[in-house]
A and B are shown apart, each in its own frame.
Chain A
């Protein structure tokens, strides 16, 4: 049922950025404690937990929670969108009443986290890793030259995504990078993996965030303005970017997005505010097209014409995004936090009168997707 569940608590870690004095599990806890304070709950009120990056077992034990429902879905940075979707279903089904979703990641300082060790016997280990990819900057970016050729998009237009998002970040005191940049600055920044320069790649920082969900009925009793889960969608494509069906489009985006729109019963024109997980500058381009906000090959022009910039008709990544705000590794939680702030009316770069926010996440290298439609009114 639409809007039967609401987000009543939402908070990020007390600090974001470079936090060498805090381990990863404590980032989860710091965010969780902040979210509970936000809505006036204590640990004994939480009966459902969901998390990724850390196991729900570690989280429950560390926080001292006795869950009757747990979700450890871990499909990359969009896992938290899937947690919101699953928690909504669980609350509706009566499996639990109050769900805590946490994220914490010592992405930069790498305190108290396991090291990445590729499995050399997995299909990715056998058929991608031997050719020298060094993580997301060389894998997530792989489809871009094909995308640019297919739709005759220039690198300046891709760079523009980073420029516009910096404009949003400039309004946000918690953003990592706030100084204005132009296309030249982006195209003169250090080459990472052609055609990607440093300013077209996300930050690497430490931080966390947490959400608390309960039934819309109970949400009325909380001090915070309820943010209803109006609809959602999820999908998976492949762990290997080389095996994507189409290098100009994410199947996971399309499947998750369609389901989210349909379950919320809304059209594109109803969306006041949009978040598209931007680990790299091309993701908002793919997202705008795969969600159907623009036609195939039209996204770069749409952004270039300032439709997603401050004052534009479709405000996008208003926190500054992974390119300028923060990116710990699993960024989806911060996108959800910004959607909640916008719908509560508390965002630093507030979209006047925003009622419906669409939040699209990606996991792996176009490997998975989760989409959530949030509303501050019952639809």
Chain B
């Protein structure tokens, strides 16, 4: 597989489950076993109540477009103009991502539009969670 020119993540022991999940086509979040807080990015303790017992679960992958910019300058592994977005996950946390299968224009990118996660291959190890409009089929 050709390796993407993007700045690819280097997983740590505390985040490995997330990247393993992405490789398997699952968006994984964590939930506190004490206060039920759902959070992101990954940590082996609850950032709300400091409880150490937390569980990893598969998120629905449903999200809404929370905010974005459309970058017009050169970026490694991406062709400008492209959107860098923050999505609001159904389970609560927000995450940065790209929006795919959608024109990268203000007219097409409407705040609060419903999105569904998909995974973009970058290397043997890394698939990035990206999001596309709900009404288009996932390319698989």
Binds A, one of B29-37, B48-56, B64-72, B132-140: B64-72
B8, B73, B81, B128: most-surrounded residue (chain A CB, <10 A):
B73
The reply to whether B71 and A193 form a contact with Cβ atoms under 8 Å apart is yes
Binds B, one of A118-126, A266-274, A326-334: A118-126
The reply to whether A247 and B67 form a contact with Cβ atoms under 8 Å apart is yes
Question: In the assembly, what is the distance between CA of A163 and CA of B6, in Å?
Answer: 36
A376 at the interface (CB under 8 A from B): no
The reply to whether B77 and A132 form a contact with Cβ atoms under 8 Å apart is yes
A131: chain B residues at CB < 8 Å are: 84-85, 96-98, 128
Question: In the assembly, what is the distance between CA of A242 and CA of B68, in Å?
Answer: 10
B71: chain A residues at CB < 8 Å are: 132-134, 137-138, 193
The reply to whether B7 and A130 form a contact with Cβ atoms under 8 Å apart is yes
CB-CB contacts below 8 Å: B38-94 with A: 40-41, 66-78, 81-82, 84-86, 94
A219: chain B residues at CB < 8 Å are: none
Question: In the assembly, what is the distance between CA of A276 and CA of B11, in Å?
Answer: 37
The reply to whether A130 and B6 form a contact with Cβ atoms under 8 Å apart is yes
A81: shortest Cβ distance to chain B, in Å? 27
Question: In the assembly, what is the distance between CA of A134 and CA of B40, in Å?
Answer: 22
Contact for A127 among B75, B96, B98, B122, CB less than 8 A: B96
A1: chain B residues at CB < 8 Å are: none
The reply to whether A125 and B69 form a contact with Cβ atoms under 8 Å apart is no
A130: chain B residues at CB < 8 Å are: 6-9, 122, 126, 128
B95: chain A residues at CB < 8 Å are: 127, 242
B7: shortest Cβ distance to chain A, in Å? 4
Number of A-B contacts (CB under 8 A): 113
B3 at the interface (CB under 8 A from A): no
The reply to whether B72 and A132 form a contact with Cβ atoms under 8 Å apart is no
A364: shortest Cβ distance to chain B, in Å? 15
A195: chain B residues at CB < 8 Å are: 69, 106
A171 at the interface (CB under 8 A from B): no
A151 at the interface (CB under 8 A from B): no
A146 at the interface (CB under 8 A from B): yes
A133-B106 contact given A126-B11, A127-B95, CB 8 Å threshold: no
B113: shortest Cβ distance to chain A, in Å? 12
CB-CB contacts below 8 Å: A273-309 with B: none
The reply to whether A242 and B94 form a contact with Cβ atoms under 8 Å apart is yes
A141 at the interface (CB under 8 A from B): yes
Question: In the assembly, what is the distance between CA of A146 and CA of B69, in Å?
Answer: 11
Contact with A along B10-40 (1 / 0, CB 8 A): 1110010001000000000000000000001
Other than the given A120-B10, A142-B96, 6 more pairs (CB < 8 A) read: A129-B9, A130-B128, A132-B71, A132-B77, A138-B73, A142-B67
The 3 A-B residue pairs whose C-beta atoms are closest, nearest first, are A126-B9, A194-B70, A146-B67
11 CB-based A-B contacts, threshold 8 Å: A126-B10, A126-B15, A131-B97, A134-B73, A134-B74, A143-B67, A149-B111, A190-B72, A193-B69, A193-B84, A195-B69
